[in-house]
Structure 1
Amino acid sequence: MNLRTTLGAGLSALALVLSMAGSAQAAQGNFTYKYVDGYGAERQVTLHDPHSGKCINLHAVGDDKEQPGYGPRNDTDTAVTVYLGANCQGPEWRLKAHGQPAKDTLEVRSVRFDAPQVS
């Protein structure tokens, strides 16, 4: 009976750790931005539940040799810092959680989402 109790407690602890690890690693919601592709067409990219706490170079615009993306919108549950340069370098701006879309004049190449608040 002691083995069964120990095994049950161990599995419960593992389930708790796994559930907490998933929520601490990602902002919940969508982050979108626009860019112009090589054919001159405007495209929109959506990051769904993006990773938090690390720099993300954005698809198609995350290199300083490319034209930057623009018009970011943060519809996640955490604030985000957007950077004009790749690798979270250069001028930066903060966008609130569930905020209004930024103007198309705000250019972006990389982002870093705040770690979600643990309650």
Structure 2
Amino acid sequence: MSLRSIAAAAGATAGALVLLIAVPGPASAATGQFRYSYTTAEGYEAVGFLNNPASGECINLPAPGSTPGSPSRAPQNRTDATATVFLEADCDGDTYYSLPPGTGASDRLLVRSVVFS
């Protein structure tokens, strides 16, 4: 192999390495489903869910048809990540509870937002 071939191969390898470092990887997600209950404005019981939710991002729990700002309840973490649920929106406040994978809580636990590890 000539010196020119070795230099070209080294340059190509370095360029490929730079591309690997510069291209962001896929966002991580908790695999599975997170479920919760809520009451609609008409008084009906409903179930909401998040499929494969993003990890490390605060998610305000959507409750279509409910009174704005009303809490959800009875979270069920059927993902492979720990879910930390908060009483306040935007994962704010001092009232929160951690749900390891495969666990849940009763109707008494009120939640408005969640973040996954």
Same topology, TM > 0.5: yes
Alignment partner of 1:111 is 2:114: yes
The one-letter amino acid paired with 2:29 is A
Unaligned runs of 5+ in 1: 115-119
Unaligned runs of 5+ in 2: 1-7
Large movers: runs of 4+ above 4 Å: none
Please report the RMSD computed on the Cα atoms of aligned residues, expressed in angstroms: 2.5
Q: How does 1:93-108 map to 2 (within 5 A)?
A: 93-99=97-103, 101-108=104-111
Aligned counterparts of 1:88 and 1:60: Cα–Cα separation in 2: 16
Asked if the contact 1:76–1:97 (Cα under 8 Å) also holds between the matched residues in 2, the reply is yes
SS of corresponding position for 2:90: helix
2:3 paired residue number: none
**TM-score, with structure 1 as normaliser:** 0.73
Same amino acid, percent of matched pairs: 40
SS of corresponding position for 1:50: coil
2:83 paired residue number: 80
SS of corresponding position for 1:72: strand
Question: Quick check: which has more Rg, 1 or 2?
Answer: 2
The one-letter amino acid paired with 1:95 is L
- The Cα offsets for residues 3-51 of structure 1, whole Å up to 9 and x where unpaired, read as 9xx59x95xx86xx77xx33x5210000000100111111101100001
Offset of 1:74 from its aligned partner? 0.4
SS of corresponding position for 1:87: helix
Alignment partner of 1:35 is 2:38: yes
Offset of 1:94 from its aligned partner? 0.3
Asked if the contact 1:55–1:87 (Cα under 8 Å) also holds between the matched residues in 2, the reply is yes
Asked if the contact 2:48–2:63 (Cα under 8 Å) also holds between the matched residues in 1, the reply is no
Alignment partner of 1:47 is 2:47: no
Aligned counterparts of 1:46 and 1:57: Cα–Cα separation in 2: 12
